[in-house]
Amino acid sequence: MSWLMGYKNTLIAVLFVFVIMGFYSEYRYNKGVKEGRSDQVALQQEADAKVQELNQKNLEFIAEQIKNIRVENKTIYNKAVKEVITNEKVYNDPNCNLPASGLRELNKALSPRK
């Protein structure tokens, strides 16, 4: 029976070690998660700072470019093309059938301009 006590004590010691290891693993896991989160927060803050810096540089660049805009008034001389407006009917073939929409556009084009 004394050998059975040895097994019991060994079994209790092994279970105790497993319980302690479980608690320690849980502690390390939670600590790792917290450290990971803090690392992520630090990386995000660093990225936000870079984005803010680039936005500021872009705003400065745009302001400089806007400041350099010069307004120039120029007179442009082009050769005019003569347009002849007549009241003669150019489209008067009686055999041609037009839909109503085409006829409206034709009459609109032939009407005198203002």
How many other CB atoms sit within 10 Å of the CB of residue 106? 14
Residue 79 lies in a domain: yes
Nearest to 88 by CA among 103, 110, 56: 110
Q: Is residue 99 part of a domain?
A: no
Q: Which domain holds residue 75?
A: 2-86
In a domain, 113, yes or no: no
Domain count, the chain: 1
Answer yes or no: is 6 within a domain.
Answer: yes
Q: What is the pLDDT along the chain (114 residues), one digit of tens a residue?
A: 455 556 777 778 888 888 888 888 888 888 877 777 777 878 888 999 999 999 999 999 999 998 888 888 888 888 777 777 666 665 666 667 777 787 788 778 777 766
Give the residue carrying structure tokens 């290891």: 21
Asked if the structure places residue 33 within a domain, the reply is: yes
Instruction: Find the distance separating the first CA and the last CA of the chain, reported in whole Å.
Output: 124
| Structural domain contains residue 21 | yes
In a domain, 61, yes or no: yes
- How big, in percent rounded to 5, are the helix, strand and coil portions of the chain? 70, 0, 30
Q: Give a yes or no: residue 109 inside a domain.
A: no
